[in-house]
């Protein structure tokens, strides 16, 4: 059994849907990593920061999974929106654009450490104003990288994509399963 070191309900849902046994430890990670370098380097740095913070508290835990995701447009990194205005700005940047989701995961066991960074790329249609306003009012964007909800609001606007949809939701389960 693995331990999911994350407060993300979406990551927990992905594990459950794929029959992976786990328990979840929810920590409020600081995520205060300086936004330098490429999006893939940044998201990996965040995951490594979570790993260090977690093992400072639980030094003897094994089979621990860490993950984080960011949204990027032309190498500009979008984290989680704090306010509705931030969410609106992030979503307007995505509308009619090509957007990447980078998710990093790090799995630590007694036998090995697995690190993976994956990109899923989307081409979105223009978002309709009424849908956008409804989504913002729903507050479903809260806690989502780039205010993106690929299984919800953003789904109907996908023109094309490459990569894993699970990765865009925050955890590339296809790669994780290959290592478990």
- 117-121: long-range contacts, CB 8 A cutoff, minimum separation 24: 117/40, 117/43, 117/44, 118/163, 118/164, 118/167, 118/172, 118/175, 119/40, 119/163, 119/167, 120/161, 120/162, 120/163, 120/164, 120/165, 120/167, 120/168, 121/161, 121/162, 121/163
DSSP sequence for 60-76: T--SEEEEEEEEEETTE
Based on the residue annotation, tell me whether 131 is a catalytic residue of this protein: no
Give me the catalytic one of 56, 68, 75, 89: 68
Contacts of 157 (CB under 8 A, 6+ apart): 95, 124, 125, 126, 127
Which residue's entry shows tokens 């309709």? 128
Where in the sequence numbering do the catalytic residues fall?
A: 68
């Amino acid at each position: 059994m693995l331990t999911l070191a994350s407060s993300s309900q979406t990551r927990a849902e992905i594990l459950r849907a794929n029959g992976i046994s786990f328990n979840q430890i929810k920590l409020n990670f600081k995520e205060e990593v300086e936004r330098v370098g490429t999006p893939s380097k940044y998201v990996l740095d965040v995951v490594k920061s979570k790993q260090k913070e977690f093992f400072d508290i639980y030094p003897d835990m094994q089979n621990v999974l860490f993950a984080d995701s960011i949204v990027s447009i032309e190498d500009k990194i979008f984290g989680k929106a704090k306010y509705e205005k931030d969410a609106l700005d992030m979503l307007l940047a995505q509308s009619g654009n090509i957007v990447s989701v980078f998710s990093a995961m790090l799995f630590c066991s007694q036998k090995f450490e697995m690190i993976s960074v994956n990109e899923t790329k989307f081409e979105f249609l223009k978002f309709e104003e009424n849908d956008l306003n409804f989504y913002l009012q729903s507050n479903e964007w809260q806690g989502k990288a780039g205010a993106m909800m690929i299984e919800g609001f953003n789904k109907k606007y996908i023109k094309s994509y490459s990569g894993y949809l699970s990765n865009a939701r925050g955890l590339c389960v296809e790669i994780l399963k290959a290592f478990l």
